[in-house]
A = this chain, B = another copy of it.
Amino acid sequence: MSATSQSPEVPARGKRADALRNQQTLLAAAAAVFVTSGVEAPIREIAARAGVGIGTIYRHFPTRADLVVAVYRHQVEACAEAGPTLLANAASPLAALRQWVDLFTDFLVTKHGLANALQSDTGGFDALHTYFVDRLVPVCAQLLDASVDSGEIVPGTGPYELMRGIGNLCIGRNNDPAYDPRRLVDLLLRGLQQPR
């Protein structure tokens, strides 16, 4: 590296700092709008909320998926990193799996429209789906395998299938007293357990 090279993290003239700040504003606005109007909300609405032009959003996030992924990256990462930790600390692999599933469920339930978008085949959410799968399926697989190995759950259910099942159960507006996703996810996990 020459003396004039600049690492991305240390911008020289402040321009980059502006852009970064802008990006944060954007993500916050998008997150807020996603909660209100779902992940398919008009770009214009997000731009308005962020107080920027729509062109700015397109510059930072060329596709809608880019934006959605960026919005939820932190939480996906946190969820991914929690897997090994839980496995190391929980009383049993199944207990770890339960706790991880709780984490994952909480995440989906609190992000209105996210679960829906994850399985949508319209709107260019493929990248979002892919990201979730790539990042979380391995984590879930580890917990699942361990639980099978410990004899706590029956084999035959793959991590992708389980996660998508959980994801689907979380679809729909939350706070519906007649439909509690967490209860159903719990039933699903019970169904996985060994009869004994």
Binding site for B on A (CB under 8 A): 38, 119, 121-122, 156-158, 160-161, 164-165, 168-173, 178-180, 183-184, 186-192
- Say how many copies of this protein the assembly contains: 4
Contact B172 A169 (CB under 8 A): no
Closest B residue, CB atoms, query A169: B168
Contact A168 B161 (CB under 8 A): no
Q: How far is the CB of A120 from chain B (nearest CB, A)?
A: 8
CA distance A137 to B97 in the complex (A): 32
Chain B residue numbers with a CB within 8 Å of A158 are 178
- Can you report 27 A-B residue pairs in the complex whose CB atoms are below 8 A from each other? A38-B122, A119-B171, A119-B172, A156-B183, A157-B187, A158-B178, A160-B178, A160-B179, A161-B180, A161-B183, A161-B184, A165-B169, A165-B184, A168-B169, A168-B170, A168-B171, A168-B172, A168-B184, A184-B188, A186-B191, A187-B188, A187-B191, A187-B192, A188-B191, A189-B191, A190-B191, A191-B192
